[in-house]
C-alpha cells in the first residue's frame, strides 16, 4: 500500500491543460533567463556529460569559494534531499520545522528515518541534538519566514554532530538575505531564480568532502542540459539578469499584496517573490481559479487549508488574478 506521503504531493503542478497564468510555482515569473536558456539550447544532447562533472564542480566551487570536493551536483535539489537520506551516517532521526517544503518528510518515509517535527524555533533548537539530519528552508516555503536562529542552530549542530541543511531554493530571490553559518550544508536550486524549473539541476555545498556522496548517485544523474544551465547561471549576464528581475519581482509582489489587501484579504509576504493569502477554503478557491485558467498553490498539503501561495507575476496576470478572486470570493 502506498502511504499518503509517497504520493506526488506538489500542489502546484497538475496534469490539466497549461493554465493562462501560473502563480503556483515560485520560479522567477519574469523568466526564463535568456542567457541560460541559450546555453541550454546549445548543449549537445548526442553525448553523455562528464560522469564526474569535473568542470561544473570546479566552476561552482570557485563561485562559492570552496574546494571542488565540497560540491556535489544533482538532478534538482529534490534528488539531493533524497540522496542525503541514503548516507549511512545520516540514517537517524530527521528534524524539520513545519509548515515547510514537503520533500524532506517525503524523503524520510522511504528511507525509514524517524521524523521529528518541531512546533517552533525554540523546540527546533531543543530537538536538534536528537537528530542526525535537520532541514531549514531559508526563506521558508511556504511562509516566507527567515529564522533568526540560524547561527545558534549551526552551533548546536556542529557540537552534536548533526548535519544541518539549509535549503536555499529562494535565497537568491530574497530581499536582505540573512548571513549564513559557514558550517551548515547548503542546497542551491538556481532553476527557481532563473525561471527554468523544467531543467532538473541543483547542487549541494558542504563544509566537508562530498566524494562519497557523489558516488551514491546513479551515473550521469545530471544531463547535459542541467550541466549547461548550472554553469551558465554563474556567468555575469545571468547574474545581471537576476539582479534586475528580482528588483522588479519585489515590486510586483508588493503590488499583488496591496491588491489582495484591497479585497479585504489577509496577506503574509515573504522577502522573496511569493506571498501567502488567506482565502477561507483554499482547495475550493484554487479549483475555481483553475477553471478560469489561473493556477495557484493550495496550501492544504502544508497544513494551511485556508491559505493560497502566490508568486509575483507580470502585471496583466496579477490583474487577472485579482479580478477572478473578487468573483470567486
Ligand X SMILES: Cc1ncc(COP(=O)(O)O)c(C=O)c1O
Residues that bind ligand X (CB under 6 A): 76-78, 101, 137, 141, 167, 169, 189, 191, 197, 202
Which residues touch 266 (CB under 8 Å, ≥6 apart)? 277, 278
Taking the complex as a whole, the smallest distance from the CB of residue 324 to ligand X amounts, in Å, to 24
Is 49 or 142 the residue whose CB approaches ligand X more closely? Answer: 142
Rounded Cα distance between 104 and 78, Å, is 8
Taking the complex as a whole, the smallest distance from the CB of residue 304 to ligand X amounts, in Å, to 15
- Cβ atoms 13, 33 nearer than 8 A: no
Is 35 or 309 the residue whose CB approaches ligand X more closely? Answer: 309
Is 155 or 269 the residue whose CB approaches ligand X more closely? Answer: 269
Residue number, nearest CB to ligand X: 76
Is 77 or 270 the residue whose CB approaches ligand X more closely? Answer: 77
Which residues touch 148 (CB under 8 Å, ≥6 apart)? 121
What is residue 68's three-state secondary structure? helix
Taking the complex as a whole, the smallest distance from the CB of residue 279 to ligand X amounts, in Å, to 21
Q: How many CB atoms lie within 10 A of CB 326?
A: 12
Handedness of CA 191, 285, 17, 221 (dihedral sign): positive
Q: Where are the alpha helices (DSSP H) in 65-199?
A: 77-84, 103-108, 121-127, 150-159, 190-193
Taking the complex as a whole, the smallest distance from the CB of residue 114 to ligand X amounts, in Å, to 22
User: Is the previous residue joined to 139 through a cis bond, with omega within 30 degrees of 0?
Assistant: yes
Specify the DSSP element, H or E, that contains 166: strand 163-167
Rounded Cα distance between 307 and 279, Å, is 6
Is 76 or 259 the residue whose CB approaches ligand X more closely? Answer: 76
Taking the complex as a whole, the smallest distance from the CB of residue 326 to ligand X amounts, in Å, to 28
Place of cell 470570493: 329
Taking the complex as a whole, the smallest distance from the CB of residue 101 to ligand X amounts, in Å, to 4
Taking the complex as a whole, the smallest distance from the CB of residue 132 to ligand X amounts, in Å, to 20
The C-alpha cell that represents 186 in the structure block: 547548503
Query: Shortest CA distance to 175 belongs to which of 305, 70, 274?
Result: 274
Taking the complex as a whole, the smallest distance from the CB of residue 167 to ligand X amounts, in Å, to 5
The C-alpha cell that represents 123 in the structure block: 523546540
Is 39 or 324 the residue whose CB approaches ligand X more closely? Answer: 39
- Give φ, ψ of 277 to 5 degrees: -130, 135
In the beta sheet, which residues pair with residue 204?
Answer: 72, 187
Taking the complex as a whole, the smallest distance from the CB of residue 229 to ligand X amounts, in Å, to 11
Specify the DSSP element, H or E, that contains 35: helix 34-42
- Cβ atoms 284, 307 nearer than 8 A: no
Is 133 or 137 the residue whose CB approaches ligand X more closely? Answer: 137
Is 35 or 194 the residue whose CB approaches ligand X more closely? Answer: 194
Is 223 or 328 the residue whose CB approaches ligand X more closely? Answer: 223
Amino acid at each position: 500500500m502506498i502511504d499518503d506521503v509517497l504520493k506526488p504531493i506538489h500542489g502546484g503542478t497538475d496534469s490539466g491543460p497549461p493554465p493562462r497564468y501560473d502563480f503556483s510555482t515560485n520560479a522567477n515569473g519574469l523568466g526564463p533567463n535568456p542567457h541560460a536558456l541559450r546555453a541550454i539550447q546549445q548543449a549537445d544532447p548526442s553525448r553523455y556529460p562528464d560522469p564526474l562533472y569535473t568542470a561544473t564542480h570546479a566552476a561552482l566551487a570557485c563561485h562559492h569559494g570552496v574546494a571542488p570536493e565540497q560540491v556535489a551536483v544533482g538532478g534538482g535539489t529534490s534528488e539531493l534531499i533524497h540522496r542525503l537520506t541514503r548516507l549511512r551516517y545520516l540514517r537517524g532521526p530527521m528534524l524539520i520545522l513545519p509548515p515547510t517544503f514537503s520533500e524532506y518528510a517525503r524523503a524520510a518515509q522511504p528511507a525509514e528515518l524517524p521524523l521529528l517535527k518541531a512546533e517552533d524555533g525554540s523546540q527546533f533548537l531543543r530537538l536538534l541534538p536528537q537528530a542526525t539530519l535537520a532541514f531549514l528552508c531559508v526563506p521558508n516555503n511556504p511562509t516566507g519566514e527567515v529564522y533568526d536562529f540560524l547561527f545558534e542552530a549551526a552551533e548546536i549542530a556542529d557540537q552534536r554532530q548533526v548535519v544541518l541543511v539549509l535549503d536555499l531554493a529562494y535565497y537568491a530571490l530574497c530581499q536582505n538575505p540573512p548571513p549564513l553559518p559557514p558550517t551548515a550544508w547548503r542546497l542551491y536550486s538556481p532553476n527557481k531564480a532563473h525561471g527554468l524549473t523544467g531543467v532538473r539541476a541543483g547542487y549541494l555545498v558542504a563544509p566537508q568532502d562530498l566524494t562519497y556522496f557523489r558516488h551514491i548517485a546513479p551515473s550521469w544523474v545530471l544531463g547535459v542540459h542541467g550541466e549547461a544551465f548550472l554553469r551558465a547561471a554563474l556567468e555575469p549576464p545571468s547574474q545581471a539578469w537576476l539582479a534586475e528581475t528580482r528588483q522588479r519581482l519585489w515590486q510586483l509582489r508588493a503590488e499583488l499584496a496591496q491588491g489582495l489587501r484591497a479585497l479585504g484579504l489577509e496577506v503574509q509576504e515573504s522577502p522573496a517573490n511569493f506571498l501567502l493569502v488567506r482565502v477561507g477554503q483554499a482547495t475550493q478557491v484554487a479549483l475555481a481559479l483553475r477553471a478560469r485558467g489561473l493556477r495557484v498553490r493550495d496550501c492544504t498539503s502544508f497544513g494551511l487549508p485556508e491559505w493560497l501561495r502566490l508568486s509575483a507575476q507580470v502585471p496583466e496576470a496579477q490583474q487577472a488574478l485579482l479580478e477572478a478572486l473578487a468573483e470567486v470570493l
